[in-house]
Amino acid sequence: MTRHFLANDDLSAAEQARALDLAAELAADPYAYRPFDGPRSVAIISDKPTLRTQLSFQVGIADLGGNAVMVDGNLAGIGTRESIPDSARVLGRQVAQIVWRTGAHERIEELATHAGVPVINALTDAHHPCQVLADLLTLAQHRGDGSAASLRGIRMTYLGDGGNNMAHSYALACALAGMRLAIAAPEGYHPDPDILVRAQAIAAETGGAVSVTDEPGAHGADAVVTDTWLSMGQDGAEERARVFSPYAVTAELMAQAPDAVALHCLPAYRGKEIAAEVLDGPRSLVWDEAANRRPAQKAIMIMLDEWAGEQ
């Protein structure tokens, strides 16, 4: 059966650990694996604006010996001009894997059902698994010994919109890694209950923990993370700024966790969800996060290709 990476819990705890260790190897030696030599092609479809996603996948596919084919999702009209199943069958006959950055998560699930080749989620409204895999690699490098095993027990605090794709992906990935995640978000912006239950069930097996609170704060955290208060396609900027302002990652909040590093997936808005002195300060790992998109995604592409070859 063809496997996909649509959400972090598409991997088991052991598989995520292998992906992170492989990513660390690829960060040190970018050209160690060439599964797409030929070259074989991978389609990168973007329905939304993109910089890090397109760049890191495009360069990463070249590193793996492959050919990246850029597809403008709005011109292709997947699910509008042509049905998602029909588009999936056409794409699957041309490329070895499909990377899609889109909106509703159900769209990528439908594409994966019909593509016949591995599909990778490069962002949906519900999940952003590649970004969070890169973030865990970054934490392993800076707060551990570089290995996935060293993530176990690390305490992360996420502040802001607990119901967005980043919070959901942190909940699942941190649980798989045996980390202890606290999501601080206002009432009405808590994680999807089904995802939270799934994350807490995983954490119970790995020795991690996932909790949710309305209280902003970062006491005891090893890592503090936030995301933009207004994701692509959302309305109500003024109201969201009012609701989320107590959850901003400021220097005062970082003082509650003097040894913590700061993470942000970018794009960041200085003076809103994160202060400039934090984002640009010595404890910020945001540029390493951006760089680590490439090895993390390459690890996923290698593993999916291996599994596809075992059919």
**Residue 262 and residue 166 in one domain:** yes
**Which residue is catalytic, options 227, 264, 297, 305?**
227
CATH number of the domain bearing residue 260: 3.40.50.1370
**Largest Cα span, the chain:** 54
**Which residue is catalytic, options 52, 101, 240, 264?**
101
What does the pLDDT look like over 115-155, one tens digit per residue?
999 999 999 999 999 999 999 999 999 999 999 999 999 99
**Residue 234 and residue 220 in one domain:** yes
Q: Is the pLDDT of residue 190 over 90?
A: yes
The percentage of residues in the chain with a pLDDT greater than 90, rounded to a whole number, is 95
Distances (CA, A) of 199 to 8, 135, 256, 308: 10, 17, 26, 27
**Residue 135 and residue 110 in one domain:** no
**Residue 210 and residue 300 in one domain:** no
Q: Is 54 among the catalytic positions?
A: no
The pLDDT of residue 310: 75
- Across the range 278-302, mean pLDDT stands at 98
The pLDDT of residue 193: 98
- Across the range 6-13, mean pLDDT stands at 98
28 vs 237, higher pLDDT = 28
**Residue 149 and residue 82 in one domain:** no
- Phi and psi angles of residue 141, each rounded to the nearest 5 degrees, phi first: -70, -35
Total domains in the chain come to 2
The pLDDT of residue 169: 98
What does the pLDDT look like over 204-259, one tens digit per residue?
999 999 999 999 999 999 999 999 998 766 778 888 999 999 999 999 999 999 99
**Which residue is catalytic, options 16, 97, 131, 141?**
131
**Residue 281 and residue 135 in one domain:** yes
CA 200 to CA 180: how far, in whole Å? 10
- Across the range 146-170, mean pLDDT stands at 98
Distances (CA, A) of 309 to 2, 46, 63, 98, 215: 9, 27, 20, 16, 48
CA 202 to CA 179: how far, in whole Å? 11
**Residue 246 and residue 258 in one domain:** yes
Q: Is 161 among the catalytic positions?
A: no
CA 277 to CA 3: how far, in whole Å? 42
The percentage of residues in the chain with a pLDDT greater than 70, rounded to a whole number, is 99
**Which residue is catalytic, options 107, 141, 161, 265?**
265
Average pLDDT of the chain is: 96
**Residue 136 and residue 280 in one domain:** yes
**Residue 146 and residue 252 in one domain:** yes
**Residue 101 and residue 231 in one domain:** no
The pLDDT of residue 123: 97
The pLDDT of residue 237: 81
- Across the range 252-271, mean pLDDT stands at 96
**Which residue is catalytic, options 3, 105, 128, 180?**
128
Q: Is 227 among the catalytic positions?
A: yes
Domain with 82, as residue range(s), is 4-127+293-310
**Which residue is catalytic, options 52, 143, 293, 294?**
293
**Residue 79 and residue 211 in one domain:** no
CA 299 to CA 27: how far, in whole Å? 10
Q: Is 174 among the catalytic positions?
A: no
**Residue 22 and residue 145 in one domain:** no
